[in-house]
Chains A and B, each alone.
Chain A
Amino acid sequence: QLQLQESGPGLVKPSETLSLTCTVSGGSISSSSYYWGWIRQPPGKGLEWIGSIYYSGSTYYNPSLKSRVTISVDTSKNQFSLKLSSVTAADTAVYYCATERAARFDYWGQGTLVTVSS
């Protein structure tokens, strides 16, 4: 069974770039069966899809975040990554990575809280 684990700084300063990595175990990120996605959840609020990537590198982003988001994949490390630039307090959230098939998110990481504060 696939397992996903997010990692990265828990505190980011305003205007800087948030960087997170999701490490996949129990399967290959090069599998043609899955897309790999990022979802976030501000404290006390709902879920927001950030974007998804296929192992080939094809990416799909939430239009509201597209100008600030980059998702990449490193097949040699079985990892995929999220970069969100020019962050503000509104980007404070729990960030989840997840597997995706046909717009459904099957397996989720435990999530990591990223706080944007000086």
Chain B
Amino acid sequence: QSALTQPASVSGSPGQSITISCTGTSSDVGSYNLVSWYQQHPGKAPKLMIYEGSKRPSGVSNRFSGSKSGNTASLTISGLQAEDEADYYCCSYAGSSTRVFGGGTKLTVL
């Protein structure tokens, strides 16, 4: 079971849109619509932002959206704001009752 692959860092200016990719395999991301995304600010616990690929929990801004194509899931943040600067992690069901996280992506708002 290998970690999902995410870019180490992405950046964008306020108001812009960015996309973070999460690449897995046909055994995890590609086989199940069970990808979730988490936002983590320094020293804080992760916060669920997207689940089941594209659904937003109550209270999460609609600037956050998720999608999937093949073995790659994506998180898009539109209208970037300073408070979006954080680490982002994807997670997928990986079969056989296991779950796997991505390595994380540091988002910098320029």
| A-side interface residues, number (CB < 8 Å) | 21
CA distance A94 to B46 in the complex (A): 12
Chain A contacts of B3 at CB under 8 A?
Answer: 46
> Which residues of A81-118 have CB atoms within 8 Å of chain B's CB atoms?
96, 102-106, 108-111
Contact A103 B99 (CB under 8 A): yes
Contact A63 B45 (CB under 8 A): no
Task: Identify A105's interface contact among B36, B52, B100, CB under 8 A.
Answer: B36
CA distance A109 to B34 in the complex (A): 22
The 4 closest A-B pairs by CB, nearest first: A103-B93, A104-B51, A60-B97, A104-B36
- Give me the interface of B with A, judged by CB distance under 8 Å: 1, 3, 32, 34, 36, 38, 45-48, 51-52, 57, 89, 91-93, 97-104
- Give me the interface of A with B, judged by CB distance under 8 Å: 39, 45-49, 52, 60, 62-64, 96, 102-106, 108-111
